[in-house]
Structure 1
Amino acid sequence: MNAAGAETSASSRDLSGIKRGPIVAALIIGAFVSILNETLLNIAFPDLMTQFGISAAKVQWLATSYMLVIGILVPITALLQQWFTTRQMFLGAMTLFLAGTVICSVAPSFEVLLVGRVVQALGTGLMLPVLMNTILAIFPPENRGGAMGMIGLVIMFAPAIGPTLSGLIIDWQDWRWLFYLIIPLTVFSILFAAAFLKNVSDLTRPKVDILSILLSTIGFGGLVYGFSKAGEASWSAPEVFWCLIAGGVGLLLFILRQLVVKQPMLDLRAFKYPMFSLVTVLMLVLMMSLFSTMILLPLFLQNALLMTALAAGLTLMPGGVVNGIMAPISGKLFDKFGPRVLVIPGLALVCAATWLFTQISASTTSGYIIFVHIVLLIGISLVMMPAQTTGLNQLPRHLYPHGTAIMNTLQQVAGALGTALFVSIMSSGSKSYLKTSENPTAPAELVNGLVAGMKDAFYIGLWISLIALVIGLFIKRAKAPQDEVKQAS
């Protein structure tokens, strides 16, 4: 392994004069295209149900399968990034995404459309960790905040405009145009990356442990799928129960396996670094809180305030735009002042916004929702990328692929758990309200039941946000260690 260490050092020296601007641009274009796609299709679900004659439960597979594939694939990217160069990973990911988009655009049946979505998800799952790992490789710790802020702009802005853009396209043309318009953007991303993206990764080509891959797939796949189905059905459903059991056992065996093999697929020694561990827990809690809002607000706007899907998308778009603007600003402030002056006020804003959401009613105005949503996303922008950058900065270079894979994977699990948890709390609260109602089938009472359930969910979200705030009090600037040269043995 001494040779590998020498290779790492040489590679690090070679990156000193690299042109970062074109590399970052190539990454951002690819990220924008693939992340935009995550929320672009949801608003077309009613049209798809009509065209293919399928139920709401079946059409949800287009979203569930996307999250499931990413949850399974991201842990494996830590291994793949040590076998394939940056260019091979990124161009391969975007080529897969392009193939999936083409399949979706011409799909004659729901089954073919689902295959296309799975292929798209393969591309997205490969691309996201490469994105963060490349930023860590080409920027020194003191300049990473601004670069990660630009990535944050894309990660938050693209999903925010997805529903609005989708609503406009659906009003203008049929759902296939959601994919037709993505194709040229994806082709441009591939050509731009082919011209400007450079190799920045260190290839060590560790031994491939098939058992680790199998356990990772069962563990993370079982948890993501189980939590996703719990949000659609109930926690007591046999399918949910057995998936969560299989996922939990698979994850435990996967962890034990990584601790005993010489070359782990996902190196859990990243958790020896306290700031990385603290930030990982913070991001888990924060993502659960964020997903509570992302899943509940569209339901409230459409089912309680009786907005159209397009109007709901337009109502939520200002928050996404402000968040996109704030992401690079918070990155620059992070480089200058460190994480504490951003993370603690940001978490306080998240708590304040979540409390304001607990005050909603059937007479709440759209202006109130827009204002509170903006406050929430300003808080998120002050926390998300500064906290992640702080945690990853403490890792030595050889752990970058593992750190980014761990963080991205656990965020996927947290997203699925948050969605299931808050949907089930909302449903339970609504049922409890309607049981005490004198006329539970009246439209007004159905709306009041929905609002009651949402308030219950937001109160739980408030407690989770307060936990995040407490964790955030311990965040501090992390020093990046020198890359460790492993001894041969």
Structure 2
Amino acid sequence: MVDIKPLFGLGGVLIAAMTSEFNDQVTAIALIDVRGALGISHDPGTWIQSLYVWAEIVGMAISPWLAMTFTLRRWTLFAIALCGASGVLIPFCPNVEAIYALRLLQGLAGGLIIPLLMTTAFRVLTPNIRLYGLAVYALTATFTPALAATVTALWTDIVDWRIVFFQPIPLCSLAGVLVWYCLHQDQPKYERFRMFDWRGLLLLVIGTGALSTMLYQGDRLDWFNSRLICVLALVSALAIPLLLANEWFHPLPLLKLQMLGRRNFAYAALGLFLFSIISQSGSAVPLQYLQEVQGYRPLQSNLITLEIAALQLVMLPAMALLLDYKQVDSRMVSLAGLGLILASCIGSSFLTVYWNRDQFYLWQLLQAIGQPMVIMPLLLMSTNTVTGPAEGPFASALINTSRAMAEAASAWSLELINRWRNALHSSRVVDEIGQDRWRVIQGNGVLPQYPAPLTPGGRPRVPGSLEAFGHAVQQQVVILSTSDTFLILGALSVFLMLVVMTLPVRTMPPRIHFATR
């Protein structure tokens, strides 16, 4: 008879992981409302998300090691308690410095929790049902980020912005009860502290903190024209190579880099990093367009990402069922999924000023089908390389640290694309308008007064007022830059397709793979 009690424990860890994702994603989407309610201006407000991501990266790297030392059950309960307690105090903070401190703790808690989901899955799931456990983990990569916009709309536009920070209380309480009663209590291994990688921890905090802060704050501070960005770049360039060297030679490292020598595991680390950036085309980019061009609030725009979230509840189990057949090559499934994401990016790149929420539904449908077709084979190929329970935490640390770094890289890439393409398109649009005006003057010697900012073909017109003129130019620049963003993310999809065709090797379903070992 199968013991289902540990499965409820896994469910508790899943709830905690989804809660930590909501702490990240929902706060990021609701940041304008939160800043306004707390009286925080734009520049200080950028640190709210920047500090969260820094602490999250550190937490993801160290959590599996500490879980092996303190026991999985105790460490998970500590992380859940920290997740719940750190957020509830933010609306009552007397100053912005206190908010920064609590966001650091929130990010650390989120980083501690998410790797524990994969670690728990390795422990409680037998090979016969492991694929369905991977589908549970994949919910945090596809379902939760897509659902975040809907949750944000519910809290900020219908209930109260404070619920953004109060929402962990009931979820963490339920998660804690399930973990407390359903996960087995091991014996702690405090003797591991005799070999604790203190140097690695110090380099991790300094190196990843400098790198993530540079990526988040670089565009605002004008990159290398800022002394702070120059110092952060130098620190990260020194600390991260030293961290990698230290982890390679340390007898009990936080990150077991030797596992990257396995082709499928190396693909998983690189693939999850790229996939996390590409998936922005299904969430952040459409929402940003609808907000800046059409003036949508989260309540009006959330349905396009809710479509992705809802389909994950069907697609992820379906992918687990499909990949459980030995005739199915997981690499081919990944290629098909990336093809759908590529088609979504190309289709979305044809957006115009007339696009609203309705025009995104078809392309979001392709995203909703394609994302689980990529993430599930990726998780299958990576977990099949883990030879025993002892390697599970090390695998979880590497995979999730790569995922956390992708969040900082995503913010950087979107800011870089916007700045680069905005400058280009702004110059071109203004130049084209100037040429149109000059041609009119040469033709009849008078300046026209246009009733609309754009022609039916989408070309910019010369508005009758300076305010309308500036609005028309800015609107067209955002449209063109958003189109370019979709195309660049599509190019990343093509690159990942090339990686899938060259790096990983074929693997069997876990029930077959581990039966032959």
2:443 counterpart of 1:452: no
2:507 counterpart of 1:478: yes
2:78 counterpart of 1:92: yes
Say which SS state the counterpart of residue 307 (structure 1) adopts.
Answer: coil
Q: What residue identity is the alignment partner of 2:257?
A: L
Deviation of 1:476 after TM superposition, in Å, equals 4.0
Show CA shifts across 1:195-241 (max 9, x none).
11224799582611211111111222222221112354443343334
Which structure 1 segments of 5+ residues have no match?
A: 1-15, 483-489
Paired with 2:368 and 2:215, the residues of 1 have a C-alpha distance of: 25
- Kindly indicate whether the alpha-carbon contact (under 8 Å) linking 1:391 and 1:478 is maintained by their aligned counterparts in 2: no
Q: Of 239, 259, 284, which aligns to 2:273? A: 284
Deviation of 1:330 after TM superposition, in Å, equals 1.5
Partner of 1:422: 414
Deviation of 1:271 after TM superposition, in Å, equals 1.2
Partner of 1:433: 425
Higher mean displacement: 336-345 or 245-254: 336-345
RMSD: 2.6
CA shift in 2, pair 1:433/1:466, >3 Å: same
- Kindly indicate whether the alpha-carbon contact (under 8 Å) linking 1:292 and 1:422 is maintained by their aligned counterparts in 2: no
Paired with 1:257 and 1:78, the residues of 2 have a C-alpha distance of: 18
Structure 1: 4+ residue segments shifted above 6 A: 479-482
Partner of 2:450: none
CA shift in 2, pair 1:308/1:152, >3 Å: same
2:192 counterpart of 1:205: yes
- Kindly indicate whether the alpha-carbon contact (under 8 Å) linking 2:149 and 2:305 is maintained by their aligned counterparts in 1: no
Q: Of 213, 238, 243, which aligns to 1:225? A: 213
2:369 counterpart of 1:353: no
Higher mean displacement: 65-74 or 35-44: 35-44
Show CA shifts across 1:297-356 (max 9, x none).
221011112222321223322122223432222123222345234212111111111111
Partner of 2:291: 302
2:306 counterpart of 1:317: yes
Paired with 1:238 and 1:392, the residues of 2 have a C-alpha distance of: 43
Paired with 2:112 and 2:72, the residues of 1 have a C-alpha distance of: 11
Partner of 2:45: 59
Higher mean displacement: 369-378 or 91-100: 369-378
- Kindly indicate whether the alpha-carbon contact (under 8 Å) linking 1:164 and 1:317 is maintained by their aligned counterparts in 2: yes
Say which SS state the counterpart of residue 442 (structure 1) adopts.
Answer: helix
Q: What residue identity is the alignment partner of 2:425?
A: Y
Paired with 1:457 and 1:315, the residues of 2 have a C-alpha distance of: 18
Higher mean displacement: 101-110 or 293-302: 101-110
Partner of 2:111: 125
Q: What residue identity is the alignment partner of 1:114?
A: Y
Paired with 2:400 and 2:416, the residues of 1 have a C-alpha distance of: 24
Paired with 2:254 and 2:164, the residues of 1 have a C-alpha distance of: 36
2:371 counterpart of 1:380: yes
* The structure with more radius of gyration: 2
Show CA shifts across 1:142-191 (max 9, x none).
53211111222244322322222222222334322323343122222212
Q: What residue identity is the alignment partner of 2:233?
A: L
Q: What residue identity is the alignment partner of 1:230?
A: G
- Kindly indicate whether the alpha-carbon contact (under 8 Å) linking 1:227 and 1:244 is maintained by their aligned counterparts in 2: no
The two structures have a TM-score, normalised by structure 2, of: 0.84
2:39 counterpart of 1:50: no
Deviation of 1:446 after TM superposition, in Å, equals 0.8
Partner of 1:368: 359
Q: Of 399, 411, 426, which aligns to 2:391? A: 399
- Kindly indicate whether the alpha-carbon contact (under 8 Å) linking 2:340 and 2:367 is maintained by their aligned counterparts in 1: yes
Higher mean displacement: 60-69 or 16-25: 16-25
Deviation of 1:358 after TM superposition, in Å, equals 1.8
Say which SS state the counterpart of residue 471 (structure 1) adopts.
Answer: helix
Paired with 2:28 and 2:406, the residues of 1 have a C-alpha distance of: 20
Deviation of 1:17 after TM superposition, in Å, equals 5.7
Paired with 1:224 and 1:159, the residues of 2 have a C-alpha distance of: 20
- Kindly indicate whether the alpha-carbon contact (under 8 Å) linking 2:53 and 2:404 is maintained by their aligned counterparts in 1: yes
Q: Of 93, 99, 121, which aligns to 1:113? A: 99
Paired with 2:38 and 2:146, the residues of 1 have a C-alpha distance of: 27
Deviation of 1:20 after TM superposition, in Å, equals 3.8
Q: Of 224, 228, 235, which aligns to 1:239? A: 228
Q: What residue identity is the alignment partner of 1:40?
A: V
- Kindly indicate whether the alpha-carbon contact (under 8 Å) linking 1:42 and 1:163 is maintained by their aligned counterparts in 2: no
Higher mean displacement: 251-260 or 304-313: 304-313
Say which SS state the counterpart of residue 69 (structure 2) adopts.
Answer: coil
Partner of 2:252: 263
Deviation of 1:72 after TM superposition, in Å, equals 1.9
- Kindly indicate whether the alpha-carbon contact (under 8 Å) linking 2:6 and 2:182 is maintained by their aligned counterparts in 1: no
Q: What residue identity is the alignment partner of 1:452?
A: L
- Kindly indicate whether the alpha-carbon contact (under 8 Å) linking 2:88 and 2:165 is maintained by their aligned counterparts in 1: yes
- Kindly indicate whether the alpha-carbon contact (under 8 Å) linking 1:270 and 1:276 is maintained by their aligned counterparts in 2: yes
Higher mean displacement: 459-468 or 18-27: 18-27
Deviation of 1:370 after TM superposition, in Å, equals 2.1
Show CA shifts across 1:282-307 (max 9, x none).
22222222235533222101111222
Paired with 1:188 and 1:137, the residues of 2 have a C-alpha distance of: 21
Paired with 1:200 and 1:467, the residues of 2 have a C-alpha distance of: 44
- Kindly indicate whether the alpha-carbon contact (under 8 Å) linking 1:289 and 1:464 is maintained by their aligned counterparts in 2: yes
Partner of 1:9: none
Q: Of 237, 254, 258, which aligns to 2:243? A: 254
- Kindly indicate whether the alpha-carbon contact (under 8 Å) linking 1:78 and 1:402 is maintained by their aligned counterparts in 2: yes
Q: What residue identity is the alignment partner of 2:393?
A: P
Q: Of 143, 165, 174, which aligns to 1:188? A: 174
Q: What residue identity is the alignment partner of 2:61?
A: P
Partner of 1:68: 54
Q: What residue identity is the alignment partner of 2:397?
A: A
Q: What residue identity is the alignment partner of 1:197?
A: L
- Kindly indicate whether the alpha-carbon contact (under 8 Å) linking 2:60 and 2:115 is maintained by their aligned counterparts in 1: yes
- Kindly indicate whether the alpha-carbon contact (under 8 Å) linking 1:292 and 1:419 is maintained by their aligned counterparts in 2: no
Partner of 2:9: 23
Identical-residue share of aligned pairs (%)? 21
CA shift in 2, pair 1:306/1:354, >3 Å: same
Partner of 1:462: 490
- Kindly indicate whether the alpha-carbon contact (under 8 Å) linking 1:138 and 1:200 is maintained by their aligned counterparts in 2: no
Which structure 2 segments of 5+ residues have no match?
A: 434-461
Higher mean displacement: 323-332 or 265-274: 323-332
The two structures have a TM-score, normalised by structure 1, of: 0.88
CA shift in 2, pair 1:173/1:382, >3 Å: same
Deviation of 1:90 after TM superposition, in Å, equals 0.8
Q: Of 159, 166, 186, which aligns to 2:152? A: 166
- How many residue pairs match? The answer is 469
Partner of 2:457: none
CA shift in 2, pair 1:266/1:427, >3 Å: same
